[in-house]
Amino acid sequence: MNRLYSLQQKDWALTVLAGVLVGTVGLGMTTLSAIGYLDILVLSAFAAGSTWTVLFLYRRLQNEIRIEANHIEAAVALYGVISPRLPLPAFGGTAIEADTARELVSLVLQRHPRRVVECGSGLSTLLVGYALEKLREGRFFPWNISQTGPR
């Protein structure tokens, strides 16, 4: 299992503690009512399973939020480096993700390429074009794969 989605040791301890706590309450109730030991076992397992599920979903949500925050930070950093004349299309989906776009623009700005042949879905093409424009050097050959050659 991916470590980002797995529970930490303290989460497992909390899961076991929830099961033990419900089991202890159940044992106390057996002296007051007709609850059987099997009922206590089922309640304890349910408490532990519920706790594990909630913690698992919480960790997964934390990871998704962390990933989205990284994409937002990358997009903000990218807008600080290039100056698009119009709003850029949305990142992600079939287009390049913001963190990958930041690395692409950074690579172009660091390497100062003389020629770039770009075969992207649209957004990466715009980003490479803006990066080369900022450098004021290099030739750009955007390639539309639906056509037979460069535009």
User: Are residues 72 and 13 both part of a single domain?
Assistant: yes
User: What number of other Cβ atoms are within 10 A of residue 96's Cβ?
Assistant: 22
Mean pLDDT, the chain, rounded, equals: 78
- Express each pLDDT in 32-77 by its tens digit: 666 666 776 777 777 777 777 777 888 888 888 998 898 899 989 9
User: Are residues 73 and 14 both part of a single domain?
Assistant: yes
Which among 48, 77, 106 is the end of a domain? Answer: 77
The secondary structure of 26-82 as a DSSP string is: HHHHHTTS---HHHHHHHHHHHHHHHHHHHHHHHHHHHHHHHHHHHHHHHHHHHHH-
Q: How far apart are CA 37 and CA 24, in angstroms?
A: 11
User: Are residues 70 and 22 both part of a single domain?
Assistant: yes
Q: List the one residue out of 130, 102, 134, 136 whose CA is nearest residue 118.
A: 130
Extract the tokens encoding 80.
Answer: 């600080």
Q: List the one residue out of 104, 144, 92 whose CA is nearest residue 128.
A: 104
- Express each pLDDT in 2-29 by its tens digit: 454 455 677 667 777 777 776 676 666 6
Query: Phi then psi for 119, rounded to 5 degrees?
Result: -120, 65
Q: Which domain holds residue 101?
A: 83-142
Place of tokens 């009922």: 39
Residue 86 has a pLDDT of 87
Number of domains into which the chain is organized = 2
